[in-house]
Amino acid sequence: MADTLDSESHTLSQTERPRRLYRWVLPGMALFLAAFPLLFWNESRALGQYRRSGEGILEVHPVRMDHIDPDMNGKLVHVCGLAITGETLRDPVFGVTANAVKLRRRVEVYQWREKTIRPIPSSEFQAAAEHPNPPAPPYAAREFTAKTVTLGAYTLSQPFIEQIDRFRPLKLDREALARLPADIRWDARRQSDGFFIGDDPEKPAVGDLRVTFQAAGPLTVTVVGRQAGNLLLPYLSDKGMISLLRVGAHSVDGVFPSAREGHAALTWGLRLGGFALMFLGLALVFAPIMRGAETGGPFIRGLAAKADPWLLAFLVAAALSFAVIAAVWFVVRPILAAVLLGAAVAFLLGVRMLPERHPG
């Protein structure tokens, strides 16, 4: 009888191992390996931004906004002033106009909302027939942009105009309602920055619309780019493209740190994302291996005695993430790279120094 049980246990373990391999280890390895290119690409992108900022501070030439200096042609210039346009932007559907660099239309529709942890269509509501949501609104959000924007004596090229993103509510005049097409005007009510389309704005019903408008400009901006006559273009160097526009007046020293800060959130988000991929991948790999530690060698048994798969995955993922980041930054910032490598080694030593766990 004992021989039969041993044989069944042995057969079960032989079939369970491939299942664990396909269910845990292979997906874990895929996540683990995907983390490396993500971290490397993110740090390379951040390094390029850092180099471009450093080069820009050294090479940029402050110029006056009201005077074109021919000697600055082809050079990286810094200019600050009021960005304006002579164009009047017009929304072709609602007839709203503005002398602005950009005009934005926003559309909101009143609809039923079920309290859930995720947004779902009304067809999936528990009482779908009693709470039908309207179809997509007949008007979409849109943005209109001036073709010609000037900064004193200079003209901004399209890459700089696209970076203008400081909007303010656009106040509509009393005649705005009269300029609406008849089919819209019938159900519309003018509000300070748009229109309510429905019966009663005080008691909105499902399907009613709120259309509001925002404008960007005239506004003060600081631009760093290449001067080409009176045109400001992106500056191409051997370290990449420099094309900076910041709302407000910024000095030469101030505009580049602002640019780096603008990319910081994305950089740190991708760093955390790369670490999370590596951590989850290693946890999936370690879990089945350490679960069967009794059949493994002394090294596996030693690890299993000290840490669970999650803690081990965290320590190893942290060490490898720091190592990848350090490798990218080593040439430019060796001290920072050395500190990161020291942290990586500390995490690996932490695995070795973990005390053994006692059952129960």
Domain extent at residue 30? 2-53+262-353
Residue 306: per-residue pLDDT:
64
Flag whether 102 is in a domain: yes
Q: For residue 22, what is the DSSP state? A: I
Burial class (CB in 10 A: 0-12, 13-18, 19+), 315: buried
Place of tokens 């602005």: 100
Flag whether 242 is in a domain: yes
Beta-carbon count within 10 A of 291 CB: 14
In this structure, are 66 and 126 located in the same domain? yes
Residue 157: per-residue pLDDT:
96
In this structure, are 148 and 209 located in the same domain? yes
Q: What is the three-class DSSP state of 80?
A: strand
Number of domains in the chain: 2
Residue 303: per-residue pLDDT:
63
To the question of pTM greater than 0.85 for the whole model, the response is no
In this structure, are 131 and 269 located in the same domain? no
Rounded mean pLDDT for each run of 10 residues along the chain, 360 residues in total: 44 53 80 93 82 63 92 93 96 95 93 47 50 65 96 96 95 92 89 91 85 95 94 83 88 68 77 93 83 57 68 90 91 86 87 63
Residue 180: per-residue pLDDT:
92
**Boundary residue ending a domain (225, 250, 275):** 250
Residue 128: per-residue pLDDT:
46
Nearest to 34 by CA among 239, 345, 248, 274: 274
Flag whether 360 is in a domain: no
In this structure, are 42 and 97 located in the same domain? no
User: Which residues make Cβ contacts (< 8 Å) with residue 205, sequence separation at least 6?
Assistant: 110, 198, 199
In this structure, are 181 and 315 located in the same domain? no
Flag whether 256 is in a domain: no
Residue 317 CA to residue 145 CA, distance in Å, equals: 46
Flag whether 304 is in a domain: yes
In this structure, are 108 and 151 located in the same domain? yes
In this structure, are 172 and 202 located in the same domain? yes
**Boundary residue ending a domain (224, 250, 276):** 250
In this structure, are 125 and 224 located in the same domain? yes
Residue 143: per-residue pLDDT:
96
Residue 255: per-residue pLDDT:
75
Q: Is the dihedral of CA 352, 355, 358, 360 positive or negative?
A: negative
Place of tokens 């090229």: 157
